[in-house]
Amino acid sequence: MARILVVNPNSSVACSDGIATALRPFRWPGAPQFEVVTLREGPSAIYDWRDWHSVVDPLCRLIEREPAAAYIIACASDPGIEAARATTEQPVFGVFRCAVATATARAERFGVIAIVDASKARHLAALRAMGLEARLAAEVALNVTMEALLQPEAARASLISAGRSCAAAGAGAIILGCTGMAHHRAAVEDAAGVPVIEPCQAAAAIALGSLPQPLR
């Protein structure tokens, strides 16, 4: 049975647990299996470019020693994706790029909710690489810690406000710009009134579609 390795490049086990919960709908008998692993060498969260660059080498070494049918980098700034793709012949998916692909399939313009302002530059770099920066309607940063984000309610009001701001700016879909936001998706969608995309789920769907499917 094929294995899809989902790598949380920060060291937060609680964040990895949230990723595994978000992927629960994609687990069924006979399907490729999603395995979520935590990069122990990673920072507690990826807030800035220094954090982004610090995980590239340990991420590549993990991919080298862990064979899989596909890999998902489960951070919404896709750290080290180019290096990871050069490390293996198997497909490597960044959750942010997958979320953007999903958003542009749903709407002409989209918004992003970032964990901190420093995330915006990394998201813009990815959008430029995809040629899609003109379709970004708005990006709103929460400026909270990963610990606050993972709590059930601590950051929810801020997320709802950010979602409404993105929708008011013309976003027809909204991307949750951190994997720690997964459990807030439904609340933000209800408040904003537009589809809200959880990036790990977007990557899971695309990764499954990339693998050969048996004919029945």
Same structural domain, 104 and 84: no
Return the amino acid letter for 162: A
**Residue 93 CA to its chain's centroid (Å):** 10
Average pLDDT of span 142-171: 93
Report d(CA 82, CA 31) in Å as an integer: 27
How many other C-beta atoms can be found within 10 angstroms of the C-beta atom of residue 130? 14
> Is 14 domain-assigned?
yes
Question: How many distinct structural domains can be found in the chain?
Answer: 2
Phi, psi of 30 (to 5 degrees): 85, -10
193 HSE (CA, 13 A, CB side): 6
Q: Give residue-wise pLDDT tens across range 101-121.
A: 999 999 999 999 999 999 999
- Whole-angstrom CA distances from 181 to 28, 133, 156 are 24, 22, 9
Q: Give residue-wise pLDDT tens across range 159-194.
A: 999 999 999 999 999 999 999 999 999 999 999 999
What does the pLDDT read at residue 135?
97
What does the pLDDT read at residue 213?
67
pLDDT category, 158, cuts 50, 70, 90?
very high
Instruction: Name the one residue in this structure whose structure tokens are 């790990």.
Output: 200
Same structural domain, 36 and 114: no
Same structural domain, 57 and 149: no
Phi-psi region of 185 (alpha: psi -120 to 50; beta: other; left: phi over 0): alpha
Q: Give me the chain's average pLDDT, please.
A: 94
Report d(CA 138, CA 114) in Å as an integer: 11
Same structural domain, 17 and 85: yes
What does the pLDDT read at residue 215?
46
Same structural domain, 176 and 90: no
> Is 66 domain-assigned?
yes
Domain membership of residue 48 as a residue range: 3-94+201-210
Same structural domain, 23 and 104: no
Return the amino acid letter for 116: V
What order of strands is seen across the sheet that includes strand 33-38?
Answer: 33-38, 3-8, 70-73, 92-94
Report d(CA 155, CA 153) in Å as an integer: 6
> Is 215 domain-assigned?
no
Q: Give residue-wise pLDDT tens across range 11-38.
A: 999 999 999 999 999 988 888 899 999 9
Is this prediction's pTM over 0.85? yes
Residues 6+ away with beta carbon under 8 Å from 66 = 5, 37
What does the pLDDT read at residue 211?
86
Report d(CA 86, CA 75) in Å as an integer: 18
What does the pLDDT read at residue 212?
75
**Could you tell me what percent of the chain has a pLDDT over 90?**
88
Q: What is the DSSP letter of 26?
A: G
Report d(CA 183, CA 150) in Å as an integer: 8
Give the angle subtended at the CA of 130 by the CAs of 125 and 132, to the nearest 5°. 90
